[in-house]
Amino acid sequence: MKIAGAKVLLTGANRGIGRAFVDELLRRGAGKVYLGVRNANSQSFPDDPRLEVIHLDLADTASILAAAAKAGDANILINNAGFMAGTGGIAAPSLDGARQEMEANYFGPLQLTRAMKDSPVFSSSGAIVNLLSFLSLATIPAAGTYSASKSAALALTRTVRAELKAKGTLVVAVLPVQVDTEMGAGLPEPRLKPSEVASDALDALEAGEEEVFPGQLSKNAAAGFKANPAAVQAQLSQYVRPIE
């Protein structure tokens, strides 16, 4: 698949990895990019006629359906928007963060993907790119409910891939380690650059790869996990929040 000339619906487009996707999509010649953001009136993007800002709140069914209708000619869906509460399970003060993570990282992308079923995304010329996390595979207890939501999202990605195989739709899982964004500020260093994630994700899309670990940091983590998943999990399990 080629990005050049493609029409793309991108969620969480206003900052971090999403903002890096905007630049990379334009650089590769995307024909149209719908920029899904929660507040469509307070964003700053390049002055480019290929860009169109649309309101998209993944916790609001009406917003999701309206965005899907607006971007009904898109053939690539990039589910990039996400949320991390940064709390443990029992250590969390309430379930509010966990519920918000599942809404943003699992239910929202599921509902948006379903809403695009009549678009070119669901065709042999279509693709879905889901921004997940290395924590889909292994869990940091200090962000345990986030890991749970991303594990659910990985299972969903593989489910959608199987369901759309007959249609020829490419479904890509992107599994980075910690990234230098506002969301990743509390995660260990070193961190990936957002541009690394966006670039490697789109490279994988153009190459027809189904799962990608962007940047050398992610590749190293994936190799370590493949060699000894129990050892990687034991290392990550040291990061625990105290129960008060």
Q: How many domains does the chain have?
A: 1
Do the domain assignments include residue 242?
no
Q: Please state, in angstroms and rounded to a whole number, the distance separating the CA atoms of residues 64 and 62.
A: 5
CATH code where residue 65 lies: 3.40.50.720
Q: What is the pLDDT of residues 139-176, one digit of tens each?
A: 999 999 999 999 999 999 999 999 999 999 999 999 99
Residue 169 domain boundaries: 7-236
Q: What is the pLDDT of residues 18-43, one digit of tens each?
A: 999 999 999 999 999 999 998 866 56
CB 199 within 8 A of CB 22: no
Q: Please state, in angstroms and rounded to a whole number, the distance separating the CA atoms of residues 144 and 138.
A: 10
Strand order in the sheet with 7-11: 51-55, 32-37, 7-11, 76-79, 127-131, 170-174, 211-212
- Characterise 38 by phi-psi region: left (phi > 0), alpha (psi -120 to 50), beta (else): alpha
Mean pLDDT confidence for 189-218: 96
DSSP 6-20: -EEEEESTTSHHHHH
Question: Would you please indicate which residues are annotated as catalytic (active-site) residues?
Answer: 146
Do the domain assignments include residue 1?
no
Do the domain assignments include residue 244?
no
Do the domain assignments include residue 243?
no
Which residue reads 């690539």 in tokens? 76
Q: Quick check: helix, strand or coil at residue 53?
A: strand
Do the domain assignments include residue 241?
no
Do the domain assignments include residue 107?
yes
Evaluate if residue 186 carries a pLDDT over 80: no
